[in-house]
Structure 1
């Protein structure tokens, strides 16, 4: 990974107690405006982080051509390698979470599933990359529960297999999963802490009539992440 696709936050190398390896979503790179706001908000609540980019996004950065995401095994391998590098660079007692926006968060959750049941739901993933670098928790920002408008294509089955702490922060207007839609998914979400950002869309952008800004909701998400991490550490 070059310097443009391995992006540590300001406090990443300052012996942090809590850190997160964060993956981008399907369409925007690791240094998108949303991701920049999220990283600053996390830093402000004491969570250091590092962002990385999947291979297809690195290629897009190199030649400017849009391309679809890599196949799932490749995405998972890339995430596992990024996690290994981060854990090699962080203190051994650091509480390390895997997280991401949308697709990136989904890949983090699939990594956690592979660790806890010994295999991934995708047989092409080399889980040996991950077994020696377990994570302490998973945080998903705007989880893609289903494609917009397609309630027959849920992406929740693997969530029930995750035994490490899992937090999903979701906007109430997110077309990839709204509160009423998720009422049918209680079994899959039994082990998940699901927190809602009122009025937020998939990018945590609120309604124009709301007093909050997008940055306000992103900062709420960071505070929820901090609370989740501190509580998890206390319960270990």
Structure 2
């Protein structure tokens, strides 16, 4: 299938991060673009892409819901099969995602751990908003690939108080940004800024990748 992609190389890159968007906004969303730019500054090349339903929205001008998981997984795998065109054969690969995109990445690595060295989630959707009983923990319970989750403390799809009760695989670590929401954005009264939290997420990603690369 033809998949919209955006290639953002970094000078002297130490890894390639293939990053998927969330359910409601494509790879051009401000969060995706800002995060990719910050990851570049951390010495990480980034490949962004759109899932098929997002490209269909752009063509037909209608708001289609996300595709089912099997189609999302097929798309992610197709992207990974195409990374050779960017001449990155020597770089270790990491899968990342914003919200839904991170769930797809974790689901893929649960069944195919050889696809990447690690997984990074920016705002993992532990459950739908206002449906805390409908948990989406399975990808994070059977995964054997090192996984970093950067989560807002008051994320409505999985807050700090909720996450502390979840039984996740030993290879999964969660870093909470203070007062952050699902986009890692804090309230003004917190004393933090959104820019600070997104920058923290990029820095933590680099540290996470450094640690894994040093063991390979």
Query: Any residues of structure 2 matched to 1:127-146 within 5 Å, and which?
Result: 134-146=115-127
Q: 1:157 deviation in Å?
A: 2.0
Give the corresponding residue for 1:110: 107
Give per-residue Cα distances to partners, 1:104-123, cap 9 Å, x unaligned. Answer: 0000000001114xxxxxxx
Give the corresponding residue for 1:16: 13
Conservation of the 8 A alpha-carbon contact between 1:26 and 1:102: yes
Give the corresponding residue for 1:184: 165
Q: 1:10 deviation in Å?
A: 4.1
1:82 is aligned to 2:79: yes
Q: 1:179 deviation in Å?
A: 1.1
**Helix, strand or coil for the counterpart of 1:209?**
helix
Query: Any residues of structure 2 matched to 1:166-177 within 5 Å, and which?
Result: 166-177=147-158
Conservation of the 8 A alpha-carbon contact between 2:144 and 2:169: no
Q: Which runs of 4+ in 1 moved over 4 A?
A: none
Q: 1:71 deviation in Å?
A: 1.0
- The structure 1 residue matched to 2:196, chosen from 205, 216, 234, is 216
* Root-mean-square deviation (Å): 1.6
Q: 1:19 deviation in Å?
A: 1.2
Paired with 1:136 and 1:107, the residues of 2 have a C-alpha distance of 16
Q: 1:93 deviation in Å?
A: 2.3
Conservation of the 8 A alpha-carbon contact between 1:170 and 1:195: yes
**Helix, strand or coil for the counterpart of 1:184?**
coil
Give the corresponding residue for 2:144: 163
Query: Any residues of structure 2 matched to 1:42-81 within 5 Å, and which?
Result: 42-81=39-78
Paired with 2:25 and 2:86, the residues of 1 have a C-alpha distance of 26
Q: Which runs of 5+ in 2 are unaligned?
A: none
Q: 1:227 deviation in Å?
A: 0.3
Q: 1:34 deviation in Å?
A: 0.9
Give the corresponding residue for 1:7: 6
Give the corresponding residue for 1:27: 24
Paired with 1:157 and 1:7, the residues of 2 have a C-alpha distance of 30
